[in-house]
Amino acid sequence: MSENIFFERKGPFKLKELFKVNSLKKDLKIHDIKTLDKAQKSTLTFFDSLNYKKQALSTKALFCITTDKLKDYLPKNCSPIIVKHVLFELAKVTKKFYPKADIDYPDLTLNKPKKSSFSNVKFGNNVLIGKKVKLGKDTIIGNNTIIESNVNIGKNCVIGSQVIIKNSIIGDNVVIQDGCKIGAKGFGFIPLKEKNFRFPHIGKVILKNNVEIGLSCTIDRGSIDDTVIGENTFLDNQVHMAHNVKVGKNCMIAGQVGFAGSSTLGDNVSIGGQAGISGHLKIGNNVKIGGGSGVVKDIEDNSAVMGYPAVSLKEFLKKGKDIE
């Protein structure tokens, strides 16, 4: 069982401690909660949308939180736990395993870095570092920046001023410009009539080698899975990336683009400024998205789209001519 270095995990719990079940395996111990593709026999998983049908068919989990309509997509060795609201039940179980992951508590271990611990790193003024932080050789940290506990930053990185990094693993040769906030809890809530229920975020942010993040970007950590930005991808200023987003290699994302949660981008994708990407979408390789576009459905490889809602560039230009 892999360790979560950013959040303390409770348990294991017997299945009957998590749900009211009549299964013969109700005394089986559950050690963690994982996505369909990463679940093992000792972990619980969840299935709430046909967007993840492929992952459901091959999951290794023995138990899955799902609905009556979706249960037949699970393999025979995976027993469904039928509920009305998958994400609400998932949030409650996740909070039981990770009771402190639904709020970003202040890191009270922060302190000024000791030169003896980071002899090959350059620091600006008023930098604060948490416990067990790892900083690679020849990395530079700007003024008034905070690196919270257990964060790993690779070699030859440049971290600007007024940056906050938490719950993150950062590769080599990464540039993060001033004012960025990396690894905070995403905007995850279960809306209830009486009171909204916070969804714990137990994932992390992974920035691969040679990534550049522009001024004042915000990149949320994953909820159950991770938020990942692939090698050689560049973000312009004020880009917002929600939980669980996956961005491929060599992508170029212009200013003020917004990503809703759990969407996936392929390699060599270009997105114009102020475009919006809805949640749980798959954007293929070599895609071009025009500025100000609203993407509300999947986009195939090698496509060029524009408009709101985004349509093929050919169709968008034709509509423009028709208006004239």
Residues designated as active site: 243
**What is d(CA 221, CA 241) in angstroms, rounded to the nearest whole number?**
9
| DSSP helix/strand/coil, 64 | strand
Longest pairwise C-alpha distance within the chain: 69
Is the previous residue joined to 12 through a cis bond, with omega within 30 degrees of 0? yes
**What is d(CA 67, CA 194) in angstroms, rounded to the nearest whole number?**
24
β pairing state of 197-198 and 189-190: antiparallel
Q: Are 173 and 156 in contact (CB under 8 A)?
A: yes
155 residue type, one letter: K
- Please classify residue 194 by burial: count the beta carbons closer than 10 Å to its beta carbon, then call 0-12 exposed, 13-18 middle and 19+ buried: exposed
| Residue in the block written with tokens 């508590």 | 105
C-alpha distances out from residue 97 to 12, 32, 179, 256, 270, Å: 8, 7, 33, 35, 39
Going by the DSSP 8-state scheme, the letter that residue 45 receives in this structure is E
